Amino acid sequence: MTKFDEIYQGLVRRIMTEGIADVNKRTGHETRAIPGMHFSVDIEKDGFPLLTLRKIPIQMFVAEQLWFISGGRKPEDFLREFTKIWDDFTNPGDVVTVAYGYRWRKHFGRDQLGLLVKLLEKDPSSRHGVVIAWDPSGDGLGGAVKKNVPCPYTFTVNIIGGRLNLHNIIRSNDVILGTPSDVAGFALLQCILAERLCVKPGIYSHSISNAHIYDTHYFAAEEILRRSNEHKKVILNLPPKTFERAEKKDKKLVKEIVGNLQSQYEPLEHIKGIKIVL
């Protein structure tokens, strides 16, 4: 199996065997959960972390991440042509109020992502490359009820030894549906930033405060634990100027990146019946 397949299967196994079962008040569903789970993947050495133990929709996370980079917050603006994943979280004006990319680029009065690039261009040794999506003025802590608050709420980027590393911190992760897409999406962001800064991608790190599996996904977890796939590592080759093209909402870019990944992707069959818990 690929390195990420091994890591992911181990994550699922630990939650199903050691996770604490409890009922979540908001959803009414039981989950098995473990606090403080962490793993890392060396993208240059181990390949792009694309799960092959079950088929996941590549176009979804590619389009989503490019939408984030553009700073958009209306799905109709670029994203909906490729995926409707954020449609459940829009307000009557078709705005996702907690859209990560909008918060990275506009919400706090700073273009955090743009400033990150400028910082690391000027000083590759900087340890100040922190980007935040969580707004403490209104998110969480029993404040205003919202359809969604950021799960991947902050990430740190640094360059060590000529390689760009990204540490993604997630407050809550649905390990069956959310984790594979979050890992692939933010690893894609890491590779795009590395290409923009003319360095190689290095270590992708993923830290989860509450890693859980819903009761309605137990059957899928059990199936994943039974599977094994002899799959070569996936090597992501990005088109030139991917970051700049994403900023301009170049729709052709989605197909180019998806095509590169799809040509190498030989996953096991899709597990039917996995539904998102809102």
pLDDT digits (tens, 9 = 90+) for 74-129: 999 999 999 999 999 999 999 999 999 999 999 999 999 999 999 999 999 999 99
pLDDT digits (tens, 9 = 90+) for 157-174: 999 999 999 999 999 999
DSSP state, 103? I
Report if residue 22 sits inside a domain: no
Signed CA dihedral, 193, 150, 7, 260: sign only: negative
How many helices (H) and strands (E) in the chain?
Answer: 9, 7
Report if residue 108 sits inside a domain: yes
Q: Is 43 helix (H, G, I), strand (E, B) or coil?
A: helix
- Find the CATH number of the domain harbouring 55: 3.30.572.10
Average pLDDT in the 48-72 region?
A: 98
The domain in which residue 244 lies consists of 34-211+234-262
Closest CA to 9 of 231, 278, 190: 231
Identify whether the C-beta of residue 46 lies closer than 8 Å to the C-beta of residue 201: no
Report if residue 174 sits inside a domain: yes
Report if residue 66 sits inside a domain: yes
Average pLDDT in the 133-143 region?
A: 92
Please tell me the pTM assigned to this model: 0.97
Burial class (CB within 10 angstroms; exposed 0-12, middle 13-18, buried 19+) of 137: exposed
State phi, psi for 150 to the nearest 5 degrees: -60, 130
One-letter amino acid for residue 63 of the chain? A
Average pLDDT in the 215-242 region?
A: 97
Output the six-digit token pair for 248.
């301009």
Report if residue 11 sits inside a domain: no
Identify whether the C-beta of residue 267 lies closer than 8 Å to the C-beta of residue 55: yes
Report if residue 21 sits inside a domain: no
Asked if pLDDT for residue 186 goes beyond 80, the answer is: yes
Chain centroid to CA 214: 19
State phi, psi for 257 to the nearest 5 degrees: -70, -45
Question: Residue 132 and residue 221: Cα distance in Å, rounded?
Answer: 31
Q: What is the structure's pLDDT at 142?
A: 86
Q: What is the structure's pLDDT at 184?
A: 98
Signed CA dihedral, 21, 36, 155, 252: sign only: negative
The residue behind tokens 């818990």 is 277
Q: Which residues pair with 40 in a beta bridge?
A: 205
Asked if pLDDT for residue 208 goes beyond 80, the answer is: yes
Domains identified in the chain, total number? 1
One-letter amino acid for residue 164 of the chain? L
Report if residue 152 sits inside a domain: yes
Asked if pLDDT for residue 271 goes beyond 80, the answer is: yes
Question: Residue 238 and residue 48: Cα distance in Å, rounded?
Answer: 12
Report if residue 229 sits inside a domain: no
